[in-house]
Amino acid sequence: MDTKNEKRKKCVRVLLKNTWRAHTLLFAAFMFVQLVILRLANQAGRGFLPPAQQEYVYLFAQVAAIVGFLGSALFFSEKRGGAVKPVTAAALALCLTGAAVMLFCPPSSLLYLIVTAVSVVLTGFLGGRVYERLALSAGNSNRLGISVGAGYALAVVLQYVLQLQWTVTPAIAVFLLLSFAWMALLLQGSRPEQPPAAEKKPLPLSAPVFGAGITIALLLFTSFYNGYIHHLQVASGYTDYNVYSLPRLLMVPTVLLFGWLGDSRGGRLLPVCTLCVAAVAFLNTALLGSETYLLNMCLYYVAITAVIAFYHLTFLRLAANAKRPALWACMGRMLDSAVVIISFGLHLSSQPQVVVLLINIAALAAVIVLMAFSGALNVSAPAAEEAADPFAAVQESCGITPSELRVLRELVLTDDKQEVIARRLQISVSTLRHHITSIYKKTGVQTRAALCKLTHTAR
């Protein structure tokens, strides 16, 4: 019996271990919960609110999401004691209850509206916790892009298959329950191990400022681009187009591709590729117009997915070195909701087509200027700098994680014993030995002397 209990505990420890696979499923679970709850929120007030006020429900949901994300960032930035786990557990339980009410109750009631408001705020609150966990894990993994890309793709596929209008409510309920269960397991586990503050690279103010500026410009572009496509939709006669139809599935290969780009070469190709996709989508729409409306819709989904991958990976990596990781980790998602509110206020569909076209051009030009000033368009200079560092060369060729890189430097540059190195790195000896075993496995060597030779010959 004891052996079975030990095996069960070992399985749980493996399940909760901070690996890229675990975080892929964590991000997929949250994104699925968010997509379903926001979709259900759009139905709030039907048959209860006057038609003139119904269109404000979606706007209200975006405001509620921002409130939730901000509340999460403020709470988890200040309280790191015993209140974190019980608050997270309470938020998970209440959000699950709210989702169940929204899923099985008719939307034409005041109760549905109140539950919608609470559920969306709690979704944002839990989202901030998920983003913080991913950001803190970014320093320990070189597969953040894979986690974000695969997690988002899995959520999109699952939501597409379980579209609410297909009347598969029981299946949606089951997957929601599984998603909440996985979030509870991982979020209640121990926080990822972080390097000492002295070893963190200082985050210059220009990095988050330019990141926010580029993200806003890209999101404004996609919003205006969507407004321009709406004009073409009317001109083409596609008045009953369903946004959950086949072109939406193009989000899956796109987010996987851009997730891979986010990991490749330190993510230096991600901004340029995002800009290129946006430019191609815009040029096709501007030059060919309503003659290729279906292609325009396909390119729209590719462009918006590229932007989503860009702001997720940008802010998650910035947050890893920021003083308030809980705030910066979800900044991209908050900016997304903020731009939705701005676009709603501009009433793009009612603006003349030429006005929307000119705004598209201005937004795309702003993206180019901001990327040029921030250095995001320069993909060669950082690579040359890293090539001169033999440790960076070994890291890139062997897939060494940032935490393992710190251990590798100690093994090569010092003759200290494991206990001394562990104390200096502020980690346990067992964790140090785990890193050393992983380094030997990835590099294909078996001794410390061989590690030194491998590093000194790397270029």
Instruction: Taking residues 294-320, report their average pLDDT.
Output: 88
Asked whether residue 211 is domain-assigned, the answer is: yes
Q: Within a domain: residue 423?
A: yes
Paired tokens of 154: 């899995």
Question: Which CATH number does the domain housing residue 269 bear?
Answer: 1.20.1250
- 137 and 228 in a single domain? The answer is no
Lowest mean pLDDT of 127-131, 209-213, 215-219, 427-431, name the range: 427-431
Q: What is the CATH number of the domain that holds 437?
A: 1.10.10.10
Do residues 47 and 90 both lie within one domain? Answer: yes
Q: Pick the last residue of a domain from 327, 358, 378.
A: 378
Query: Residue 211's Cα: distance from chain center in Å?
Result: 14
- Convert 8-46 into a string of H (helix), E (strand) and C (coil): HHHHHHHHHCCCHHHHHHHHHHHHHHHHHHHHHHCCCCC
Rg (CA), the chain: 24
Tally of domains within the chain: 3
Domain boundary, last residue among 359, 378, 397: 378
Number of H helices, E strands in the chain: 21, 0
243-272 core/surface letters (b: 16 or more CB in 10 A; e: else): eeeebbbbbbebbbbbbbbbbeebbbbbbe
124-138, 158-172, 221-235, 405-419, range with the lowest pLDDT = 221-235
User: Which residue segment(s) compose the domain that 15 sits in?
Assistant: 2-194
Prediction pTM value = 0.79
pLDDT value at 381 more than 50: no
Looking at 378, 393, 422, the residue that finishes a domain is 378
Average pLDDT in the chain = 80
Q: Could you read off the pLDDT of 48-82 as tens digits, one per residue? A: 778 777 778 888 899 999 999 999 988 876 555 56
Residue 387 has a pLDDT of 45
Those residues whose C-beta lies under 8 Å from the C-beta of residue 120, and which sit 6 or more positions away, are 37, 38, 41, 61, 64, 65, 68
Same domain, 153 and 241: no
Angle, helices 293-319 vs 331-346, to 10°: value is 140
Instruction: Count other C-beta atoms under 10 Å from residue 449's C-beta.
Output: 10
Please tell me the predicted confidence (pLDDT) of residue 64.
93
Q: What is the pLDDT of residues 234-293, one digit of tens each?
A: 555 555 555 556 788 889 999 999 999 988 877 888 999 999 999 888 888 777 766 666
Task: Say whether both 128 and 213 belong to one domain.
Answer: no
In this prediction, residue 254 carries a pLDDT of 94
Regarding whether 368 and 227 lie in a shared domain, the answer is yes
* 365 and 387 share one domain: no
Are residue 38 and residue 180 in the same domain, yes or no? yes
83 and 117 housed in the same domain: yes
415 lies in some domain:
yes
* Same-domain pairing of 113 and 229: no
The mean per-residue pLDDT over the stretch 365-383 comes to 79
Retrieve residue 251's tokens: 């989000």
